Structure 1
Amino acid sequence: MKKKITYSILILFIVAFAIYSYTYQKHRDISSEKAQYLVTIPALVKEFAANDSLAFAKYQDQTIAIEAKITAVDIENKAIILDQKMFAIFNDSFSKDIISGKKIRIKGRFLGYDELLQEFKMDQSSLIR
């Protein structure tokens, strides 16, 4: 009887530790990751138009690099819009080099495509120099 209780408690602790480790795992640092894909916005538009399910599966939650022209800047929310199609939210660092009309290259985590607004979304973005 004591062995069963001891094994049960041991298994309970192992399961609890596994759940705790999974729940509180380390967060990704996108700015230090290497970009999985270097794409342009017209290429993204073309891929999503051809097969949005396949494109979504390919890019979802991946670190991507984009080179495009800034069309709008929201300093208060640390966000920019690239080529009127990509909405990118920056980390804490928001460079003064980011001005409307300038061509830049950024890296961030691809979130998806918003069909209502017809734009792609990225977060944890950072400027690539």
Structure 2
Amino acid sequence: MKKKILLSILLLLLVGISVYFYTYKGHRNIDAETADYIVTVSGLEKEFTSNDSLAFLKYQDKTIELTAQVTNIDTESKGIVIGEKIFATFKDSLPKDIVSGKILKIKGRFLGYDDLLQEFKIDQSSVVR
């Protein structure tokens, strides 16, 4: 009888620990990850124009890297628009050396395409040097 109780307690403890670690797993560090895809703005547009659902499945929640010209800076939302089609937000704050017209290489997590604004969304961005 004692073995069954002890085994039941041990099993409940293991299940509890498993649930805890599954629920509170660590956050991704996009800066440390290597890019899953290195893309261009025009290449991204072509893929979404030809088959948007397939392209979304391909890029969703993946780390992408791209190079384009800064076309707009939004300090309030800590974001920039590059290549007139990519809205990238930064985790903490905008890097000080970002100016409109500068060519930047950024890496970030792909979120999706905003039909209303007709731009791609990337978050947790960082400048690749």
Which blocks of at least 5 consecutive residues in structure 2 are unaligned? none
- What's the CA shift for 1:2? 3.3
TM superposition shift of 1:93: 4.5
- Which ranges in structure 1 are unaligned for 5 or more consecutive residues? none
**Matched positions, count:** 129
Deviation of 1:101 after TM superposition, in Å, equals 1.4
* Contact 1:93/1:126 (8 A) holds in 2: no
- Paired with 1:99 and 1:75, the residues of 2 have a C-alpha distance of 11
What percentage of aligned pairs have identical amino acids? 59
Runs of 4+ in 1 over 6 A off after TM superposition: none
2:98 counterpart residue number = 98
Pair 1:74-2:74 in alignment: yes
TM-score by length of 2: 0.92
SS in 2 for 1:92: coil
Q: Which residue of 1 aligns with 2:40?
A: 40
The letter for the 2-side match of 1:95 is P
Question: How far apart, in 1, do the equivalents of 2:114 and 2:82 lie?
Answer: 15
1:111 aligns with 2:111: yes
Q: Distance in 2 between matches of 1:37 and 1:107?
A: 10
Q: Kindly report the root-mean-square deviation, in angstroms, between the aligned alpha carbons of the 2 structures.
A: 1.3
